[in-house]
Structure 1
Amino acid sequence: MDLLVNIDVPDLPRAIGFYTDAFGLTVTRRFGDGGAELSGWPVKIYLLEKTEGSLGAGQESRRYTRHWTPVHLDVVVDDIETAFIQAVAAGALPESEIRTEIWGKIVVMVDPFGHGVCLIQFLNRGYDELAPRLGDPAA
């Protein structure tokens, strides 16, 4: 079994530029003028050029202004401040300040095509900070 992440974009060359510049991904394959495979994360990313207004999933028209979906990318980084500067320089739009939680740091952004992207830097035990430790009375 494998997992593929497909991201619809209205402008493939611009999307390739964003994802390679923002996150250091590399193009490993091209599918004519309509798609590209990117590597550099534990899962391959497929950028698929789809015209704005064309029919998408659920019979809704694609739109590339900021939109909400329950699925977004969380990009785990070692240095959130440096990664944030790099992503914004490549075209990401910040929607929050970098904030620190018990489990780490997070900043909410949007890619140039309206897709939500968060940068996360885990601290201490990461999400395990939310779970009781063995031996704790609440465990």
Structure 2
Amino acid sequence: MQLLINIDVPDLAAAEALYTQAFDLTAGHRFGAGGVELLGLQAPIYLLQNAAGSVAAADARRGYGRHWTPIHLDVAVERLEPALERALQAGMRQETELREANWGRIVRLADPFGHGWCLLQFVGRGYDEITTN
């Protein structure tokens, strides 16, 4: 199996510029004017242009204001501060202060399209610091 990450955006060019700058990704395949593959993480990210208000699922309509979803993406980085600065300069918005835990450090971000992201910096044994089995 392979994991593919699809992210709906209302403006493909703006989203491509944001994510390539914020996370040091590169464009792979293009799918006409409606999609682009971004490479550089363990799973490819596919940006899919879909207009606000278009049908998303069942009776739900797409909206790009800040929203909560039980799924968000974490990007693990070697050094949190430079990665945060790059993401902010690209257009991400910082939503929390940097938080420290025994597994590492984290900060929550939002992109201009309403999606939540986290930057993580693992320390010590990372999540193994808190595993119970």
Counterparts of 1:1-139 in structure 2 under 5 Å? 1-132=1-132
Distance 2:82 2:58 in 1: 37
| 1:136 corresponding residue in structure 2 | none
Distance 1:59 1:69 in 2: 17
Distance 2:124 2:89 in 1: 29
Deviations, residues 92-128 of structure 1 (Å, cap 9, x unaligned): 0110011111110000000110000000000001111
Distance 2:68 2:86 in 1: 24
Classify the secondary structure of the residue corresponding to 1:120.
Answer: strand
CA deviation after TM superposition for structure 1 residue 41, in Å? 0.4
What stretches of structure 1 move > 3 A for 4+ residues in a row?
Answer: none
Q: 1:96 to 1:37 in 2, by over 3 A?
A: same
Q: TM-score, normalised by structure 2?
A: 0.97
Alignment-mate amino acid for residue 33 of structure 2: D
Distance 1:103 1:113 in 2: 29
Deviations, residues 33-52 of structure 1 (Å, cap 9, x unaligned): 00000100010000000000
Classify the secondary structure of the residue corresponding to 1:28.
Answer: strand
Distance 2:65 2:22 in 1: 19
Q: TM-score, normalised by structure 1?
A: 0.93
Alignment-mate amino acid for residue 29 of structure 1: H
Distance 1:131 1:30 in 2: 40
- State the structure with more CA Rg: 1
Runs of 5+ consecutive residues of structure 1 not aligned to the other structure:
133-138
Classify the secondary structure of the residue corresponding to 1:118.
Answer: strand
Alignment-mate amino acid for residue 41 of structure 1: L
Count of aligned pairs:
133
Runs of 5+ consecutive residues of structure 2 not aligned to the other structure:
none
